[in-house]
């Protein structure tokens, strides 16, 4: 979700199931940086993964619940998961969850997507 939609870690942890609009292929990010709402794209691949996730977990309040179901997963937990994945994959280059957001923007730019559009969805 972070990479495919260009989300900040603080945005992805606060997503609710109703924020994902599979008909319009959009994700509604509420109270983003500067307390602004915005929409970003939902990729077909991310939607497929989310559907699998939905089948296994059936999230209610938060798309990604923490250990306590009424609370969302923490940004620190996401960062730790990312760190563990990098370690398991033997990725030696310094990377953070935020690196995915940068990669999202870079790949759109490399695909000749208009810079103003990239700026808008980020």
CA separation for the pair 78, 46 (Å, rounded): 17
Superfamily of 2-121 according to CATH: Intergrase catalytic core (1.10.443.10)
Among 31-40, 46-55, 100-109, the range with the most confident prediction by mean pLDDT is: 46-55
Q: Is the pLDDT of residue 17 over 90?
A: yes
Residue 61: half-sphere exposure toward Cβ, Cα within 13 Å: 8
Alpha carbon 61 to its chain's center = 17
- Kindly report, residue by residue over 53-72, the tens digit of the pLDDT: 999 999 989 999 998 888 99
Q: What is the DSSP string of the chain?
A: -HHHHT--HHHHTT--GGGEETTTTEEEE-S-GGG--EEEE--HHHHHHHHHHHHHH--SS-SSB-SSTTSBPPHHHHHHHHHHHHHHTT--S---HHHHHHHHHHHHHHTT--HHHHHHH-
Is pLDDT above 90 for 7?
A: yes
**Using 50, 70 and 90 to split pLDDT, how confident is the model at 51?**
very high
Q: Where are the domains of the chain?
A: 2-121
Closest listed residue to residue 32, CA positions, set 11, 51, 15: 11
């Amino acid at each position: 979700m972070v990479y495919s939609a260009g989300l900040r870690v603080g945005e992805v942890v606060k997503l609710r199931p109703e924020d994902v609009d599979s008909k319009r292929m959009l994700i509604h990010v509420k109270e983003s940086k500067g307390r602004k709402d915005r929409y970003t794209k939902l990729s077909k691949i991310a939607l497929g993964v989310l559907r699998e996730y939905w089948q296994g977990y059936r999230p209610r309040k938060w798309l990604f619940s923490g250990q306590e179901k009424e609370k969302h997963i923490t940004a620190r937990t996401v960062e730790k998961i990312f760190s563990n994945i990098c370690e398991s994959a033997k990725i030696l280059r310094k990377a953070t969850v935020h690196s995915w957001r940068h990669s999202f923007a870079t790949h759109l730019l490399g695909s000749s997507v208009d810079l103003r559009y990239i700026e808008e969805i980020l």
